[in-house]
A and B are shown apart, each in its own frame.
Chain A
Amino acid sequence: MNVEQEIRLRLTRRQLLGRASVGIGTAALASLLNPGLATAKPQAAFLNFAPKAKRVIYMFMSGGPSHIDLFDHKPALRKFHGTELPESIRNGQRITGMTSGQKSFPCVAPMFKFAQHGKSGTWLSELLPHTAGIVDDIALVKSVNTEAINHDPAITFINTGSQQPGRPSIGSWLSYGLGSENQNLPAFIVMISQGSGNKTDQPLFSRLWGSGFIPTQHQGVRFRSGGDPVLYLSNPPGVLPDNRRQMLDAVGRLNQMAEQTVGDPEIDTRIAQYEMAFRMQTSVPEVSDLSGESKATLAMYGLDENGNGSQYARNCLLARRLSERGVRFIQLFHRGWDQHGSLPEQLPKQCQDVDQPSAALVKDLKARGLLDDTLIVWGGEFGRTVYSQGALTATNYGRDHHGRCFSTWMAGGGIKPGITYGETDDFCYNIVKDPVHIHDFNATVLHTLGIEHTKLTYRFQGRDFRLTDVHGDVVKGLLS
């Protein structure tokens, strides 16, 4: 076979897959959601390890849950309660404009009890009784840290690797690198729920699941409650599946005729996309329909027998259903974790929202054998200060943003279960052992998926960009 013939053959194959597939990672080749890429990336050089995880469910707690009141147990803090935070601890740390004018920075010990759980003896707050039941399956990381001290930069940083807007989100990186395992569902799905703690909650931004400078088909697709789960999924009123099928057949035939005249392989891709759209009209409602779930399963998530209950609980169950169908990256955003004041009143409500469903998701995946190849992440954009924002009273206190350390837990594919990683000082203020910067954290997430984070790059403006910028070390101590 001569060279030209070989090229022709390759091109024909490529056309069959949609011209699109030029140059993406081989794993993504099969995904019809991933056509249209035109960057030259000859081989998936970033796939350096056998992946432990095939997909990710990321339960993002927007606002900054208090690590002090939930995870980072410090009995010694009790004796500093109500006393000024020593300057040797704060050590010139910049603080937000919300507390920088405070005259006093009194330390606050949590008003909640802590106890040890499971074989691992992991300490947890009484606000998380269901999470207490899965401690032997999770790795609790107490030493995550970020430079950002305000919501916008912090949540943008942890989700995109940069405090300033413009970069692709972690989910879009994975969609770009790995594609989807399911041809009828998007590779990256986002679900949002409101918390019941802080109602004047922090906003979210579409950039948190946006694709920045990488092609837009990698951006997260919002799965929404009420109406169409995916935008414009349903036929217009009065259009039955038959009407749609007839119309699509006509469009398909006419497009084929055009392809024969014009010879543009992009037309074939478009034909395939319309067929995929038609299939999504079935596959998406099917995945959102909880009627096939057993009563026991529904109850485990805290849903009633009709599948009704809190949005977060529904989202957790949907996350399991989506992960079963091979959706690569599922991100839940639960809001309301910004406890500047009234923490003792708000935090229990937030925990009530998420504790049972989050734990149920881990248990459910484990029972179905999916936990081994699904990475679970639970955490927010930063932690909270040990000192009180506003006056500390016998029953009330608030906490400002704190980036120097915060707690996050992981579970499943590639993660060592039943461990606590990293340590902070007696004030939950500084890390004293095993820091995990959010770049390290993201590098570790990619690692569990078999991706070498320094090699998953996209060239933009002459530079090969990465999720982890020029930083990040895989945290070996977290790996199974």
Chain B
Amino acid sequence: MQQRFGNRLFAIAVVVLMVGGLPSYAANRPSIDYNRDIRPILSENCFACHGPDANKRKAGLRLDVREGAIKPLKSGETAVVPGDAGHSAMLARILSDDADEHMPPEETGKKVTAAQAELLRRWVQEGAVWKGLWSLEAPKRPELPEVTNSTWQKNAIDRFVLERLEKEGLNPSPEADRPTLIRRLSLDLTGLPPTTAEVDAFTKDASPDAYEKVVDHFLASPHYGERMALEWLDAARFADTHGYHIDSGRDMTRWRDWVIHAFNKNTPFDVFTVEQLAGDLLPNPTLEQKIASGFHRNNMVNFEGGAVPEEYLTAYNVDRVNTTGAVWLGLTVGCTQCHDHKYDPISQKDFYQLYAFFNGVAEKGLDGSRGNAAPVMSVGTLAQNQEITKLTSAIDDIEKQLVAANTSWDAAQLTWEKEQTNRPDAGHVQWIAAEPREIKSSGGAKLDVLGDKSIAVTGPNPAQDTYTAMVLSPVVGISGMQLVVLPDEALKAKGPGRSENGNLVLTEVHIGYASINDPSKVKPIKIKSAQADFSQDNFPASNAIDGNPQTGWAIFPAVGQAHTIAFELEKQIESPGGALLNVTLEFKSQFSNHSAGRFRISATSDKFPLGQTRVPANVAGLLRLPNESRSDKNKAEIRTWFRTNLMPEYKSLRDQSDKLKKQLAVANANLPSTMVMQDLAKPRDTFILMRGQYDKPGEKVTPNTPACLPPMAAGAPKNRLGLARWLVDPGHPLTARVIVNRYWQMYFGTGLVKTAEDFGTQGEYPTHPELLDWLATEFIASHWDVKGMQKRIVMSATYRQASHATPELIVKDPEDRLLARAPRFRLQAEFLRDQALAVSGLLNREIGGKSVSPYQPPGLWEELMSRSDGANFTAQSYVQSHGPDLYRRGMYTFWKRTSPPASLTTFDAPDREVCTVRRGRTNTPLQALALMNDPTYVEAARKLAERAMTEGGATAEERIAYVYRIVLARSPRPQELAVLRNVFDQEWSGYRRNAEGALKLISVGESARNEKLDASEHAAWTMVCSAILNLDETVTKN
């Protein structure tokens, strides 16, 4: 038997070696590790029918736990007899040639290879030791392994990597050259290429800590936060639209700003987690903590007409559980929405217990047709918040002044109160009509003086008008002027106004006087107060003298009859020789044609031209009380009435305050909002949903964490806050591992666990388990110091290696999992764009803020939306940005889920409908087309060409070298220079013959071109720069 196996085993081992992603390491190891060697075989081939899912379990056999496997079955067989492979039915079945007996059954399409069978046999023979799933046991800090090469390592990471390399008989690669290192670091830590100044400083720095200085420099860059945020935006499924169906817009940019800022200020990962999952539940949460809680509002939201709200409430929470599972736990909990997990010890009940944590969100099942979906919170930008603070404090100031004691107002009130008793009744004031001398209408109306000295207005009726009348004073020592507005049959509604309804609005009155001998010398007179026989609500007489053209005196509904408005002058006019009064009547209200249709001007010399002030009955009653009998409330009432009606200064302050209040209301209404977490007073009940269907509730459950993981701390609240704290408990086996693994993935392209989203049974066993645990324990011990972890990784010798690969290395380790060289992979979508903009000088380095809409081929959205009622919703047609907004980093591009940015998705950006923790990396002709022809890249090439021509030097060689230094951080090699010099000559000679084409090419994009440059030469350099931007080396992190 052993003999028979021999040859097949060899043949199959070769195949495994060739097609498997992992090197042959595992197969060569003498001792067997259940988690590394056995579990993957059993999981792949057996657990679906003989695993944790009791409902699907066949023959009562369970192979994922020892008790199940060694227990005799009904059939009398025993699957696994530890130490006795010959009597283990599992092995017999796997090796059986009988189709009925053979396991796994043919129809599953699964196959246990001979090599795997041999591993299983050895494992059974050696005692069949089961172990719990490695990732569910808390990481223990490993000892640093012993290595032979004592000079290579820079930090602990290298010890683990080197140990593995030495076991495989491999040597690490030498350190990459400095230009390569700084470009790698800059792209990895900021997502942008280094500037030439940064490159020069680093290549010239001979100090021993030169490298560390550069690392610190990039970690301190504000672009570090952007780079880190981008990875998180994929995980958080951040987007600018709701995603389902009509896919209207939303605004979560304040949440995105929060993420960038959190990374930049190096918020510890545990705080980062708690604030995003439960910022709203923290004691006295800050505005920022509430914004952070929007993490789980980034899910898609639906408002399709006719959809069932409960169905979507369920979908939202399912998405939240799945996302939490992938982002923090690295577990595929989504499988348990419908049934117990087939591979991992997670039950359907566990799923709905997690679901219950989110089932209290105060949201609607269908929402989002008008922007953000509830619950939302208003948030302003810094400028907006400053504006609001300014308005609020200005209003406060005025309001305080309005109620505070004011010596001059109070004195005036005292005088008025005394006078009021002495004054005659207004009806006793002697008003004498004045004879008009010169009258004018600014709006061209015709003014005629009638026999009763009144003035009739006819002819053009402009929306607004101002009358100026010079009248001869009928008295000496004028103390007051009176305007009488008169009805007239010729006017609509009999007037006295010229509007449709007979009303008028006298917005402002000015009075001046001149000596009869010198009519041209008009002196203004201050008006002390005004009083009318009747005033429309909110249009008091005082409005006519408040200096505010927006307010006025009006008379509706008492139209069709005469009214008077009288003005008391500040002091009597002493003009012994006779005086001319110059009266200006302004009718400038927002209501058109509200000017007077017939009026007369009179004057008086009475000491109290207004007579007694007309006061409302309640005030008159209070005034009759002696001062000592008035309560404080009475006094305040009198004071307010007096100030409002008789103190123009008070009135103008009041108006100012009202104006500011309106501005504040507008500012508040324009404040952007952000979607946040907020719980209902009473959370919804949660049930296990049969087959995951929203309308098939089963057993009721309450919030709790999965049974296979350590329980929540005693006394922890069973809400999102408790859940968040549980995730970042130092004893949690998964979170730290899952997070450091994703950091590792950012730098090396592949995590130590390749399946970054799955640390379960079906996930990959780590290539370097001890390293993963060392990093995880280090992360926790450092109090979740995120920046520190990035630094630790990039400081390692492992990271600093050259990326050159020998054929031997490619044979031995095609995917570079052993890390005998630095990885080499294409830049992610956003960084390709950012790099092109940065090297061309077009990049707008502003951080955070609203999403923008760069160039996009026309019609991409409209083809999919184009509803005739699309105007009812936002984000239905693409409105391209202009100016600096065209040149913002890729991460700020408006993300429409149903039609994501074409130039980014071409380079594997996900659609952000659901959580993504691992982007694909493809290499397609559509990418070539985009890099060559997308106006973004063409414009970048022509601007880079301008830089080459104006800053790069005189010769073609100097200019090519200059562009190389900008783009690749290195000088070109002679052969490269020759190729590019040659293509420049070809292109230039072509464009000299094609001047029109040259001009077209250098006019691509909206940025201005340098018109001093020769067009054909500029076009040729544009092609050269485009070639350099399309190089494999340019689009790759080397």
Which residue numbers of A lie inside 8 Å of B, CB to CB?
Answer: 3-4, 6-8, 10-11, 18-20, 22-23, 32-33, 35-36, 38, 40, 42, 45, 94, 96-99, 149-153, 164-166, 186, 192, 194, 199-207, 210, 215-217, 219, 221-222, 224, 226-228, 230-240, 242-244, 246-247, 249-251, 253-255, 257-259, 261-267, 269-271, 273-274, 276-277, 280-281, 400-401, 454-455, 459, 461-463
Contact = CB atoms under 8 A, between A and B. Distances in A.
A217 to B, nearest CB: 5
Contact of A97 (B109, B305, B859, B1026): B305
Contacts of A274: 925, 928, 1030
Nearest to A19: B814
Contacts of A166: 913-914
Contacts of A221: 926
Contact of A461 (B20, B109, B326): B326
Interface residues of B, number: 119
Nearest to A48: B109
B980 A250 contact: yes
A78 B866 CA distance: 37
A255 B1031 contact: yes
Contact of A96 (B306, B803, B898, B1035): B306
Contact of B922 (A151, A216, A254, A280): A216
Nearest to A261: B804
B900 interface: yes
A368 to B, nearest CB: 28
A192 B863 contact: yes
Given A250-B982, A273-B924, A216 B905 contact: yes
A424 B1024 CA distance: 66
Give me the 6 closest cross-chain CB pairs, A-B, nearest first: A462-B762, A238-B1001, A238-B1000, A96-B306, A277-B928, A98-B306
B804 A262 contact: yes
Interface string B972-990: 0101100110110011001
B18 A10 contact: yes
Contact of A401 (B21, B306, B326): B306
27 contacts: A8-B811, A35-B922, A35-B924, A38-B815, A94-B308, A96-B308, A97-B305, A149-B306, A152-B244, A152-B307, A153-B307, A166-B913, A203-B864, A205-B864, A205-B898, A206-B900, A236-B1004, A238-B994, A239-B1001, A251-B1031, A254-B979, A255-B1031, A255-B1032, A258-B1032, A264-B803, A280-B929, A463-B762
A270 B1032 contact: yes
B14 A6 contact: yes
A199 B868 contact: yes
Contact of A243 (B109, B335, B804, B1023): B1023
Nearest to B300: A165
A264 B824 contact: yes
Interface in B994-1023: 994, 996-1004, 1019, 1023
A455 B1000 contact: no
B807 A227 contact: no
A194 B810 contact: no
Nearest to B907: A216
B667 to A, nearest CB: 34
Interface stretch (B397-405, B516-524, B670-678, B752-760): B752-760
A33 B762 contact: no
Nearest to B919: A216
A11 B335 CA distance: 37
Contact of B927 (A203, A251, A273): A273
Contacts of A259: 1032
B89 to A, nearest CB: 26
Contacts of A281: 929
Given A22-B19, A200-B869, A237-B1000, A246 B986 contact: yes
A232 B932 contact: yes
B553 interface: no
A207 B913 CA distance: 9
Contacts, number: 299
B646 to A, nearest CB: 60
Given A38-B815, A192-B863, A232-B929, A263 B805 contact: yes
Contacts of A22: 19, 814
A455 B109 contact: yes
Nearest to A269: B923
A239 B930 contact: no
Interface in B860-890: 863-869
Contacts of B824: 262, 264, 266
A204 B925 contact: no
A205 B899 CA distance: 6
Given A203-B245, A263-B810, A273-B928, A461 B332 contact: yes
A247 B315 contact: no
Nearest to A210: B911
Nearest to A6: B14
A150 B307 contact: yes
B781 interface: no
B245 A233 contact: no
B17 interface: yes
Contacts of B921: 36
A461 B897 CA distance: 22
B15 A257 contact: no
Contact of B308 (A23, A33, A97, A253): A97
Contact of B926 (A153, A231, A238, A271): A231
Contacts of B858: 227
A327 to B, nearest CB: 15
A246 B245 contact: no
B334 interface: yes
A237 B983 contact: no
B913 A247 contact: no
Contact of B976 (A96, A152, A254): A254
Contacts of A261: 804
A273 B906 CA distance: 13
B997 A238 contact: yes
B304 interface: yes
B1003 A263 contact: no
B169 interface: no
Contacts of A201: 866-867
A230 B926 CA distance: 9
Given A233-B933, A262-B804, A454-B109, A463 B332 contact: yes
B911 A11 contact: no
B302 interface: yes
Contacts of A280: 925, 929
Contacts of B302: 152
B503 interface: no
B1031 to A, nearest CB: 6
Contacts of B1030: 247, 251, 274
Given A36-B922, A215-B922, A462-B332, 15 more contacts: A4-B811, A11-B811, A149-B306, A150-B304, A153-B307, A203-B865, A204-B864, A215-B908, A231-B930, A236-B1001, A238-B1004, A243-B1023, A273-B927, A281-B929, A461-B758
Nearest to B872: A200
Nearest to B1035: A270
Contacts of A463: 332, 335, 342, 762
Contacts of A242: 990
Nearest to B1026: A247
Contacts of A234: 933
A96 B924 contact: no
B329 to A, nearest CB: 12
Given A7-B18, A204-B864, A239 B1033 contact: no
Nearest to B318: A164
A149 to B, nearest CB: 8
A263 B807 contact: yes
Contacts of B865: 203
Contacts of A3: 14
B763 interface: yes
Interface hub of B21, B334, B925, B994 (most chain A Cβ within 10 A) = B925
B225 interface: no
A261 B975 CA distance: 13
Contacts of A98: 305-306
